[in-house]
Structure 1
Amino acid sequence: MTPALLTLATSLPTVAGVAAQSGREIIANNADPDRPFAVYSISKTILAILTLQLNEAGRLVIDNAARRYLSASQARYLSPEITIRQLMGHTSGLPDYGPLPEYHTAVRQGQRAWSFDEYMERTQATTLLFPPGDGWSYSNIGYMILKHIVETTADQPLAELSAERLFVPLEFSGSLVVKERADWRRVSIGRSDSLEGEVREIYDPGWVAHGLFAMTASDLLALFQALFSGRLLKSESLQQMCMLHRLPFIEGRPFQQPAYGLGLMADAQRQIFGHTGGGPGSTAAAYHKDGKTAVILTNDEDSLKAEKLGIALFDSTNSDHEV
């Protein structure tokens, strides 16, 4: 079978890449592929997998009201019409904290991350952007709520649950949940132009409200290969994960037909599935098509560049191809 990638040429400052079918790692500019990189929003894919596993086990039902699985103090913010499925697919109508100037100021200055209540109140989460199920809008708030549902249902913190259900069974060697600043010591991280200091010293991982995973290139590759080979979910669950809500064309993005499933970004036209993530000091892109997975992890903050590089690998027809 033709390897997904044999050679890699890129201007990204630090890159760890993996070719799925050759099993060969491509390292540029002294990157260390054995050190985990912060994958930011790819954490949503992991949360979606864990949620569907709990759904298969009968611990929750993704078409039930999300507030049913929260404490009373958390549930009061949610409309009874919002389902877990809608949280997973960004169709709940919940807003996001990304547009808030006070969020960016707090992050830049190294302030502590907000609590659940602060996130909900500052984003005015009780005022929905549209009726649940009647639209689409990317919401980190929705996945923050999903994290609490998963932890409450499983009666385990995210780090323990992901280790039990993913890291140990798949024999991951270097992945972790970044919970506090001290955890940055274990992570390959670059500098950030948006922070008033070094990422390791200033950035509270709690600003990734849905939980932050750091993964090696080979572990992230193994996760996607296991997901799409049916090792993590039953076929029906995987099919639901890949049921797509088509989105308008996004100028500058590499998708011919942008779409979103349950924790998966996608190009509906070319049937490429995966996710992009980016934040202070790191970006990540992991995409899968027809048995091949491309993983790009960087210490650069240009997530679009990593995403384009990852998607471009699937447009390659030659076995020895430079991107």
Structure 2
Amino acid sequence: MNNIKTIGIILLVSLITSCKNKEKTAVNNESAEKLELHKEVTNSNIEAFIEKMINEEHFKGVVLVTKKNEVIHAKGYGMANDTVKNKISTKFHVASITKQFTAAAIMQLVEQNKINLEESINKFLPAQYRSDKWDIVTVHHLLSHTSGIEDYAVVRDYYNVVKGFCLGNTVDGMIKEAMPKELEFYPDSKFNYSNIGYTLLGEIIQNITGEPYRDYLKTNVLEPLEMHASFIHTTDYEASNDEAIGYRWDNEQHKHVLDDIVSLPVTEPDGNLVTTLNDFLKWTNIYIENEQPILQKESLKKMITSYAETGKTGPDGNLEGYGYGLFLSKELISHTGYIVGFRSHFIVNPKENIRIVVFSNNVSMSPKDVSSGIYKIISAKLGA
């Protein structure tokens, strides 16, 4: 009899445990499903603010806001190109938001003991790009914009650039121009945002892996995160109908016109990512979830550690620092992006699980103003 009672109790406990596990799985699946963008969602307070930004700043683009694994606003504004409106599925060039992806790729190679953050970049760069001026510059310095390597100039005779994107031998020319120059300051003594630092990180990735940067990123970062609509703009790039093209606001014509203003040329690892709201939402999971498929916890911790003060304030009004491809202020993770025709900004508050993403195809306004304004609304209205 005692044996029968014992067996009954075991079966009952097993049944209860099984039910609880199923409930937990259902909750997890429900949360994951909520974070997939299938349709536009409108929050009246956020919509009123964006309409204000449209009227005052001529904003056009897409906006995503989530809190506690719930999409509370997701919408497109204005035209993506001459014939198609911006939608939540529209693909955008996001410029320097790319840098955190490059940082993640570097950290993967650190985990594999193929790169040491504290060793000279000359050990990891291809032979043709090693400079005696860079013996004291480490991989850490490149990641944190504390290397002292002078950024590339706006105009050079060797530049072959279309709409801001580097073609031909432009990257080779930029690196070789930088190699003989003295450092602007001793590494780690100062913060100075330097795009060429991330260009060099891309060269390190290619040299260590033997793969083109865009291929490594696709296989080891984008695909594991199921970012299937995302890719790196390369020299053979042709825009598709579901992509936004870049504009600026013309006060004389009182309309958006194609952006033709000269700006820094963009290289693949420092600013060539093309993505969507849904794909970028998947990326931000790495800052929210305990487990994700591309980085170890220690690597992610290093990425979101501040190593230098930028001298600026973050979206929350607090002083901003810089980690690896990320601006950091108090509890917020963020970054800007700015290239010909496109500007972008995102904010993640991991503690409160708040995510705000703004991609714009109008360079005549600040998407950081949009995201920061929305963050204030979320903090006030939703108890962040």
| TM-score bracket for the superposition, by shorter chain length | 0.7 to 0.9
Report Cα offsets for 1:235-288 as digits up to 9, x if no partner: 211221122134354389874202111110122xx3211211011111111221
Within the candidate set 297, 312, 320, 2:373 is matched to 312
Report whether the alignment pairs 1:14 with 2:65. Answer: no
Q: Could you say if the C-alpha distance between residues 178 and 202 of structure 1 is closer, same or farther in structure 2, counting changes exceeding 3 Å?
A: farther
Letter matched to residue 22 of structure 1? E
Whether the aligned pair in 2 keeps the contact of 1:79 and 1:126 (CA below 8 Å) is no
1:138 aligned residue: 193
* Mapping 1:44-193, distance limit 5 Å: 44-76=99-131, 78-98=133-153, 100-102=154-156, 112=167, 114-123=169-178, 126-180=181-235, 182-185=237-240, 187-192=243-248
1:210 aligned residue: 269
Q: Secondary structure at the match of 1:16?
A: strand
Residues in 2 aligned to 1:14 and 1:193: alpha-carbon distance in whole angstroms: 10
Report whether the alignment pairs 1:237 with 2:299. Answer: yes
Whether the aligned pair in 1 keeps the contact of 2:133 and 2:179 (CA below 8 Å) is no
Letter matched to residue 149 of structure 1? I
Shift of 1:121: 4.1
Q: Could you say if the C-alpha distance between residues 175 and 258 of structure 1 is closer, same or farther in structure 2, counting changes exceeding 3 Å?
A: same
Q: Could you say if the C-alpha distance between residues 222 and 93 of structure 1 is closer, same or farther in structure 2, counting changes exceeding 3 Å?
A: same
Report Cα offsets for 1:95-144 as digits up to 9, x if no partner: 1125x4548x9758989565344213444663101111221111111111
Residues in 2 aligned to 1:60 and 1:69: alpha-carbon distance in whole angstroms: 7
Whether the aligned pair in 1 keeps the contact of 2:360 and 2:367 (CA below 8 Å) is yes
Whether the aligned pair in 2 keeps the contact of 1:95 and 1:125 (CA below 8 Å) is no
Q: Could you say if the C-alpha distance between residues 143 and 252 of structure 1 is closer, same or farther in structure 2, counting changes exceeding 3 Å?
A: closer
TM-score (normalizing by structure 1): 0.83
1:26 aligned residue: 75
Shift of 1:73: 0.9
RMSD over aligned Cα atoms:
3.5
Identical amino acids, percent of aligned pairs: 19
Within the candidate set 253, 261, 285, 1:225 is matched to 285
Letter matched to residue 298 of structure 1? S
Q: Could you say if the C-alpha distance between residues 223 and 108 of structure 1 is closer, same or farther in structure 2, counting changes exceeding 3 Å?
A: closer
Structure 2: runs of 5 or more not aligned = 1-30, 36-41, 79-84, 251-256
Q: Secondary structure at the match of 1:163?
A: helix
Letter matched to residue 128 of structure 1? L
Residues in 1 aligned to 2:327 and 2:163: alpha-carbon distance in whole angstroms: 31
- Structure 1 runs, 4 residues or longer, greater than 6 Å off: 108-111, 201-206, 251-254
Whether the aligned pair in 2 keeps the contact of 1:112 and 1:204 (CA below 8 Å) is no
Report Cα offsets for 1:47-87 as digits up to 9, x if no partner: 00111111112221212211111121111365211110110
Residues in 2 aligned to 1:59 and 1:190: alpha-carbon distance in whole angstroms: 38
Aligned length: 313
TM-score (normalizing by structure 2): 0.71
Residues in 2 aligned to 1:221 and 1:248: alpha-carbon distance in whole angstroms: 26
Structure 1: runs of 5 or more not aligned = none
Asked which structure has the greater RCO (Cα within 8 Å, sep 6+), the reply is 1
Bigger radius of gyration among the two: 2
Moved more, 276-285 or 310-319: 310-319
Shift of 1:166: 2.2
Q: Could you say if the C-alpha distance between residues 260 and 315 of structure 1 is closer, same or farther in structure 2, counting changes exceeding 3 Å?
A: same
Whether the aligned pair in 2 keeps the contact of 1:167 and 1:175 (CA below 8 Å) is yes
Whether the aligned pair in 1 keeps the contact of 2:131 and 2:180 (CA below 8 Å) is no
Moved more, 81-90 or 131-140: 131-140
Residues in 1 aligned to 2:249 and 2:236: alpha-carbon distance in whole angstroms: 18
Residues in 2 aligned to 1:89 and 1:101: alpha-carbon distance in whole angstroms: 25
